[in-house]
Amino acid sequence: MGKFVKSALVATLAAVAALLMGASMAAANISVSPGGSITAASLGTVDLIGEGGLIDITISCEVALNGSLSTSVVDPNGSLGSITSGRATNCDNGSAALLFPSAWGLVLDGSPDLTNTQAALDITNVAFSVTVLGQTCLYTGDIPLTLDYTSIGGGRFSTGLITVDAHALSLASGSFLCPTDGILSGTFALSPLQTLVLV
């Protein structure tokens, strides 16, 4: 085997080994305690917005979500749990509804850096509707959110607020009167508080 071929083979094997090592180091488990059933109540109101097209509308509601968390999560991009039900109540400027044809998933967006103060997640399968001039406008898709946490010592971190970032969802069904994009944004308090440990 020529010197050039040997060098190329060694370089290739080294690159593969580095990739495997990186993948091994990146994959880790996050312990979540107590996990199980959770609620997330909005702090103030959540904006459910329809914009684009003939009419723009902002409906502000109090929102309560219910779901569950896993007690062990494999990252990156592991499932943290799901939201299985929720209600929008005391709405101003119109009516809106949260819909659950399937559970809304809670999925890590990459690997959280527990030396930071926030983790990025995605809520998948989100579905909500707003009513515009008597027409029901349905929006579906995935929404990014951030989960705050603080160190409580011993390599443990306590969860804080959840912020759902404004992100446009596509119109899934509705009349020509419906805005083309639906946006849900707000801040929620998670209960009970959870303790995260990278293991």
Tens of pLDDT along 8-31?
Answer: 333 333 333 332 333 333 445 888
Q: What is the pTM of this model?
A: 0.80
pLDDT in tens, 50-66: 999 888 999 999 999 99
pLDDT higher than threshold 70 for residue 170: yes
Per-residue pLDDT band at 112 (split at 50, 70, 90) = low
With contact defined as beta carbons under 8 Å apart, do 102 and 124 qualify? no
| Chain mean position to CA 119 | 10
- Alpha-carbon distance values, 191 to 35, 80, 129, 174 (Å): 10, 15, 26, 35
Residue 48 has pLDDT above 50, yes or no: yes
Q: What percent of the chain has pLDDT over 70?
A: 83
pLDDT above 90 (res 91): yes
Could you tell me how many helices (H) and strands (E) the chain has, helices first? Answer: 1, 14
**Per-residue pLDDT, 35:** 94
Q: How far is CA 43 from CA 40, 61, 66, 162, in A?
A: 9, 11, 15, 10
Mean pLDDT of the residues in the chain: 84
CA–CA separation, 140 and 127 (whole Å): 4
Q: What is the pLDDT of residue 97?
A: 95
When pLDDT is averaged across residues 96-114 and rounded to a whole number, the result is 87
Which residues is 58 bridged to in the sheet? 49
Least confident of 4-18, 38-52, 65-79: 4-18
CA distance 48 to 149: 26
Which residue segments constitute the domains of the chain, with CATH numbers given? Answer: 27-198 (2.40.160)
CA angle 45, 169, 52 (to 5 degrees): 90
Report the first-to-last Cα separation within the chain, whole angstroms.
Answer: 45
CA 141 to chain centre: 11
Beta bridge partners of 143: 123
Mean of pLDDT values over 94-122? 86
pLDDT on residue 28? 57
pLDDT value at position 75? 67
